[in-house]
Structure 1
């Protein structure tokens, strides 16, 4: 059962609400109910959907909403936490067009249709760092922008080893990589040195799996 003390709307709902997709939704249950939705723009990687939704508790009032979903050839992405032989976490520095910034972040990317999260992680490690995935474990999924993005990427942690040269995607600009101990990365996230939300979220999910600076995956933590 979820923890936390309810401050408003406390009682248990008749059906499970949290972390479960509801499409088209039901305004009678307090949800934004999709009445109609169409593709406004798309390419292979992404689609921008515009929807007319009925608002809850507004006597049938409607409003336009948008969301971004994976494109026809892609699925929810994957974020991978590379752990090297010294239990350090490896980040890349990449230029991100939407924010127009160089960002230190974990390797990540979209998955191709039919690609498993582990296969996606293996490909991203090769492309961005030239690393080989030895073994991987799940850290669940993360919704880093639930206000606009439909995608909920998979988060994996992986033991890695050197695997040759990088094989970067043509659309990516990566100029460096950095190795952090767990405590160093946690401090960098807490201080604001790291802005990437995927990396900040990963530190939280990694907490049960580090004893000081030593990594050991503990199964059964992620629900």
Structure 2
């Protein structure tokens, strides 16, 4: 038996979009179940995101602390952002986010993992990159606004982040998945065996 997620789409009898926001919307589909019954499924339609686990030569991960209103928390996270431009190359988007949020560039990029954040209620897909060989970016710092204006930046040891995750102190999904994937990759075939940065991403197809 092959353990692999596979694409599949059940029949949709009707569909409507009762809410359209600035970046996302809500869709309501009437979906035909295997027994022939029709059930309504409401979910958020999302453009997709990228996130960057950037690690320096002292085994520290670049993290940011930012207010997240829906959960009423300030969360420690890794740099991340929306795929605002349809068909945008996710690597280019990740490089942009690392520059804008941390004013850092990286020489070595790999795909760490791909996830659906909440597949029961949202179609958001996130590609988490591993970035290594870090250095200060050139040029002016990006001017932040809104929640990002209050953002804090730090570099935290991988072991400390793992302890925080397992203790229930850190909750951001990209940070949790990224850090634990990093540890798993190191304990497996190694970081150099990770997928190349331009690896195909069926969830969000892009131009090379």
User: The TM-score by the shorter chain falls in which range?
Assistant: 0.7 to 0.9
Alpha-carbon distance in structure 2 between the residues aligned to 1:118 and 1:221 = 12
TM-score (norm. length: structure 2): 0.81
Q: Post-superposition shift, 1:109?
A: 1.1
Give secondary structure in 1 for the equivalent of 2:159: helix
The total of aligned residue pairs comes to: 191
Aligned-pair RMSD on alpha carbons? 2.4
Say whether residues 1:91 and 2:67 are aligned partners: no
Deviations 1:140-173 (A, max 9, x none): 3111211111121111010221126542553433
Q: 2: CA distance between counterparts of 1:169 and 1:40?
A: 32
- Unaligned residue ranges in structure 2 (runs of 5+): 200-208
Corresponding residue SS for 2:70: coil
- Unpaired stretches in structure 1, ≥5 consecutive residues: 4-17, 26-32
In 2, the alpha carbon distance for the partners of 1:168 and 1:118 equals 22
User: Which aligned pairs between 1:109-148 and structure 2 lie closer than 5 A?
Assistant: 109-112=81-84, 113-148=86-121
Larger Rg: 1
Q: Decide which of 135, 143, 152 is 1:176's aligned counterpart.
A: 152
Distance 1:61 1:134 in 2: 53
Cα separation, 2, equivalents of 1:55 and 1:82: 43
Query: Which residue matches 2:168?
Result: 192
Higher fraction of helix: 2
Give the Cα–Cα distance (whole angstroms) in 2 for the partners of residues 137 and 220 of structure 1: 6
1:80: how far off?
0.7
**Could you tell me which residue of structure 2 aligns to residue 217 of structure 1?**
191
* TM-score after normalising by structure 1: 0.76
Q: Give the alignment partner of residue 14 of structure 2, picking from 36, 47, 62.
A: 36
